[in-house]
């Protein structure tokens, strides 16, 4: 029996993160709900409980952090991991220090400003920062999720643990993939994570930043499809 693909979106992203090109790569994929909990551990528990059997966890950014936590909690169920825009460490001190101020502003009605001015535009490759349709989508996903989700996810990211030892112990195939212009979780980090992980492959995609699934969806999907083909015996 083939594993069920589970799609885990990033911070303040919803199912619109995964384009038709990406969804066509998977059969019977389900979208994980990462909006209800304020810890990475609880998000992973919820995602694991949403379906039975073996899973292929496909995570972007925060979703990648949750995907690794799923493998920590239920290694017998996770047969493969796709980790894009991933950081295996705990929250960086400067980011952790800034999150409470962002949370306070968002609670006071400042979600749109935080999304539009502080977060999403800085995640894109230089050539995509004036792509109005992409900027609008990023803004709309965040606004539709709302302030309460922002605060819960922000806290989950702020309090997350370091998982470098965990990825070194992973037994399943892992694909690390990132945009060449990702300044939030740069390619050099992904190469470090890949070097730590026993059954890993790393792919850098040029012309894209942190929002790789939306900036270069065809290249993103093609890379995953190739990796799935290479590892098909592992997933049978």
pLDDT tens for 52-93 read 999 999 999 999 999 999 999 999 999 999 999 999 999 999
What's residue 1's pLDDT? Answer: 65
Q: Check residue 233 and give its pLDDT.
A: 87
Which sign, positive or negative, has the C-alpha torsion 84, 87, 91, 97? negative
| Domain map (residue ranges) of the chain | 4-89+161-235, 93-156
Cα separation, 54 vs 70, in Å, equals 11
Q: Model-level pTM?
A: 0.97
Task: Check if the beta carbon of residue 84 is closer than 8 Å to that of residue 217.
Answer: no
Q: What is the pLDDT of residue 119?
A: 67
Q: pLDDT 10s per residue in the chain (236 long)?
A: 689 999 999 999 999 999 999 999 998 999 999 999 999 999 999 999 999 999 999 999 999 999 999 999 999 999 999 999 999 999 999 999 999 999 999 999 999 999 998 866 678 999 999 999 999 999 999 999 999 999 999 999 999 999 999 999 999 999 999 999 999 999 999 999 999 999 999 999 999 999 999 999 999 999 999 999 999 888 87
Q: What is the tens place of the pLDDT at every residue in 33-50? A: 999 999 999 999 999 999
How many other CB atoms sit within 10 Å of the CB of residue 196? 17
Query: Which runs of consecutive H residues, i.e. helices, occur in the chain?
Result: 20-23, 40-49, 62-73, 93-105, 111-113, 132-145, 147-158, 164-168, 187-196, 212-215, 217-230, 232-235
Q: Does domain 4-89+161-235 have CATH number 3.40.50.1820?
A: yes
């Amino acid at each position: 029996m083939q594993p069920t693909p589970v799609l885990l979106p990033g911070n303040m992203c919803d199912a619109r993160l995964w384009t038709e090109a990406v969804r066509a790569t998977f059969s019977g994929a389900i979208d994980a709900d990462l909006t209800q909990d304020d810890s990475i551990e609880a998000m992973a528990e919820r995602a694991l409980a949403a379906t039975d059997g073996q899973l292929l966890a496909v995570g972007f950014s925060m979703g990648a952090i949750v995907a690794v936590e799923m493998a920590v909690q239920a290694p017998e169920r996770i047969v493969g991991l796709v980790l894009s825009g991933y950081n295996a460490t705990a929250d960086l001190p400067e980011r952790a220090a800034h999150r409470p101020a962002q949370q306070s502003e968002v609670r006071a009605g400042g979600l749109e400003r935080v999304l539009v001015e502080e977060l999403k535009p800085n995640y894109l490759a230089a050539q995509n920062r004036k792509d109005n349709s992409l900027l609008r989508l990023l803004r709309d996903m965040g606004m539709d999720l709302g302030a309460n989700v922002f605060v819960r996810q922000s806290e989950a990211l702020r309090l997350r643990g370091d998982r470098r030892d965990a990825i070194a112990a992973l037994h399943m195939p892992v694909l690390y993939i990132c945009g060449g212009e990702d300044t939030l979780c740069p390619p050099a980090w992904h190469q470090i994570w890949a070097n730590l992980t026993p059954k890993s492959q790393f792919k850098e995609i040029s012309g894209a930043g942190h929002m790789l699934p939306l900036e270069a969806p065809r290249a993103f999907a093609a890379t995953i499809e190739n990796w799935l083909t290479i590892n098909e015996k592992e997933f049978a």
